[in-house]
Amino acid sequence: MEMHKNLKAALYIRVSTEEQAQDGQSASAQVETLKQYCCAYGIEVFDIYMDLGLSGKKLKDRKELERLMEACIRRQFDMVLVWKISRLSRSLKDLLYLIDVFERNNVHFASCSEMFDTSTPVGRMTLQLLGSIAEFERNTIVENVKLGLKEFARKGGKASAVLGYDNVDKKLVINETEAGLVRLIFNLYTENAMNFTAIARYLNSLGYKTKRGSEFRCSNISYIIHNPVYIGLNRHSMNTEREYSIRGMHPSIIDSGQWCKAQSLSSENEKRTVSKNSNTESLTLPVICMRCNSQMRVFYTYSKGKRYKYLRCCSCSNYVNVERLMKVVSRAIIALVDDKSAQEPAYRLICQDTMSIKSGGTEITAIEAEINLLQKSKARYLSLFEGYKISDTKAFIDRIAEIELQIKKLEQKKLELNRAAFASNTTADYKEYFCGLKDRLSAMEPEALSQTVCLIRSIEAFRDEIKIVLYL
């Protein structure tokens, strides 16, 4: 760079948490190097902007960089000087965006270590090459960290501490004081029949605190009761479809028998809650992605304070608006029941379905909800049981057998109710039934859609294209 006596430079310094300890990359080392550079070339230091402990992956939350950009737009300095371009950003896209803002305001960008200036074509080309290398380094670091965490998890390690354990050299070690509290929580739930809210209030009245030193809430108790870490298992990728458990290297606090009892009680409580709310549940339809044949999942977006419901394919990012989908479904069913030759067989299908027309519908819906919860509970027990050397295997086997028996009894009860509902309805009723059904479908009433969902064989969707196949 040529000698310019009247140049004003903004010095930008950024260090991540890891880089602060590395030689030559600390904030003070960067400041000293940049000041020496300015002194050597006769450049006046306008101001120093420092973002400490922040990643270069994104521009978000970098307050000092925002302050620098505001000063740049006001043209309060002539150049931005950094130690390395990776200090400004490790993303090539973000880096080029910042350089573009600088140039629009006649501000040059220079790197002390790489020795180039964006005011020349060669300097700009060098910048893009170095930016690509910085982004490659960041991606490599991210991949290495992911691989390290996966290997650590595979060996049964767990980096975070939970109530009852302390993290010592990345290993869970029992904290006897907290472990006693965990045992108390399980005893209150399994032996004293206290719910999560009651347990939280009781612990708060005694002055107990969570691992982070705050008061207990219902969600804290639920997390403890459902966490298999207390029987020696570590959960990973929680609350995702890829969630799995691995035998940990830490000792158990709760025996598997009491933990199974707690899960059983939790399932029973969930069933009672679902039974109360079964009449107000929204209709849920299995929708298949037309592109990759995967089942689409519900997600929500928010705009101007309103919430919108969509279905999205997790494999190819295909999505469809649920409101529009339900309108298409409603129109397809209305077209079917308008066909007089299809009314009688359609009525028979609806009578045989769980949402019967005259009687038993509410009870059958509650039974189906119970069966669904029991099946989820069974799958949870199997995932924990299979492949792990759990000392008390009898408790798991007995509980799984008990769940299977409950499911069998509920299935039989559901069949009997369906038969009774069908016997109580005659085909003479269908004309009167369909007369009112069309108006309810046009109004998109959830109950009407629930009653007629049995007429649909399959639904496929891709953006605005929706394909509905009916049984009749």
The model's pLDDT over 161-212, given as tens digits with 9 standing for 90+, comes to 788 888 887 788 889 989 899 999 998 888 887 888 888 888 988 899 998 8
Cα 441 from chain centre:
34
Q: Is the residue at 78 inside a domain?
A: yes
- CA–CA gap between residue 71 and residue 64 (Å, rounded): 11
Residue, of 108 and 271, whose pLDDT is higher: 108
16 counts as catalytic: yes
- CA–CA gap between residue 280 and residue 267 (Å, rounded): 20
Residue 401: per-residue pLDDT: 79
Residue 270: per-residue pLDDT: 65
Q: Are 137 and 61 within one domain?
A: yes
Residue 9: per-residue pLDDT: 92
Cα 126 from chain centre:
40
Q: Are 314 and 416 within one domain?
A: no
Q: Is 31 helix (H, G, I), strand (E, B) or coil?
A: helix
Q: Are 274 and 404 within one domain?
A: yes
- pLDDT winner (highest mean) among 39-48, 81-90, 287-296, 455-464: 39-48
Domain count, the chain: 4
Q: Is the residue at 21 inside a domain?
A: yes
Structure confidence at residue 68 as a pLDDT band (50, 70, 90): very high
DSSP classification of residue 455: G
**Chain segment 120-174, per-residue pLDDT in tens:** 676 667 766 766 766 676 677 767 666 665 555 555 555 567 888 888 877 888 8
Q: Are 376 and 406 within one domain?
A: yes
Residues 6+ apart with CB under 8 A from 82: 11, 12, 13, 34, 88, 109, 110, 111, 112
pTM, two decimals, is: 0.36
- CA–CA gap between residue 9 and residue 170 (Å, rounded): 44
Q: Are 102 and 173 within one domain?
A: no
Per the prediction, the chain carries an average pLDDT of: 76
Q: Are 41 and 113 within one domain?
A: yes
- Least confident range of 100-109, 151-160, 250-259: 151-160
- CA–CA gap between residue 85 and residue 62 (Å, rounded): 16
Structure confidence at residue 294 as a pLDDT band (50, 70, 90): confident
Q: Are 353 and 449 within one domain?
A: yes
Residue 312: per-residue pLDDT: 84
Kindly tell me if the per-residue pLDDT of 439 is higher than 60.
yes
Q: Are 315 and 214 within one domain?
A: no
Domain end position, chosen among 107, 127, 151: 151
Domain end position, chosen among 94, 129, 151: 151
Kindly tell me if the per-residue pLDDT of 335 is higher than 60.
yes
How crowded is residue 132: how many other Cβ atoms within 10 Å of its Cβ? 12
Q: Is the residue at 2 inside a domain?
A: no
Residue 276: per-residue pLDDT: 42
Q: What is the CATH number of the domain that holds 13?
A: 3.40.50.1390
- CA–CA gap between residue 124 and residue 128 (Å, rounded): 6
User: Mean pLDDT over residues 28-38, rounded?
Assistant: 88
Residue 404: per-residue pLDDT: 84
Q: Are 328 and 408 within one domain?
A: no
| Catalytic residue from among 16, 113, 264, 383 | 16
Kindly tell me if the per-residue pLDDT of 400 is higher than 90.
no
**Chain segment 345-398, per-residue pLDDT in tens:** 887 777 765 444 444 456 677 787 788 888 877 777 766 665 555 555 666 777
Measuring CA to CA, which residue among 83, 72, 109, 67 is closest to residue 28? 83
Q: Are 47 and 134 within one domain?
A: yes
By DSSP bridging, strand 44-52 and strand 8-15 are parallel
Q: Are 337 and 343 in contact (CB under 8 A)?
A: yes
Q: Are 174 and 251 in contact (CB under 8 A)?
A: yes
- pLDDT winner (highest mean) among 8-22, 48-62, 279-293: 48-62
Residue 23: per-residue pLDDT: 47
Q: Are 330 and 454 within one domain?
A: yes
Q: Is the residue at 225 inside a domain?
A: yes
The number of C-alpha atoms within 13 Å of 417 and in the hemisphere containing its C-beta is 22
Domain end position, chosen among 379, 397, 420: 420
Kindly tell me if the per-residue pLDDT of 48 is higher than 90.
yes
- CA–CA gap between residue 123 and residue 117 (Å, rounded): 5
Domain that holds residue 468: 285-358+425-472
Buried-exposed string 235-253: b where 16+ CB fall within 10 A, e elsewhere: beeeeeeeeebbebebebb
Q: Are 74 and 209 within one domain?
A: no
Residue 355: per-residue pLDDT: 43
pLDDT-above-90 percentage for the chain: 8
Residue 222: per-residue pLDDT: 87
Task: Give pairs for 409-413: CB < 8 Å, separation 24+.
Answer: 410/367, 410/370, 410/371, 410/374, 411/371, 413/367
Instruction: Name the phi and psi angles at 442, rounded to 5.
Output: -65, -30
Q: What is the CATH number of the domain that holds 172?
A: 3.90.1750.20
Residue found by looking up tokens 């009894």 in the block: 409
Buried-exposed string 281-320: b where 16+ CB fall within 10 A, e elsewhere: eebebebbbbeeeeebeeeeeeeeeeeeebbbbeeeebbb
pLDDT-above-70 percentage for the chain: 73
Continuous H helices in 58-175:
63-73, 85-88, 92-104, 121-154
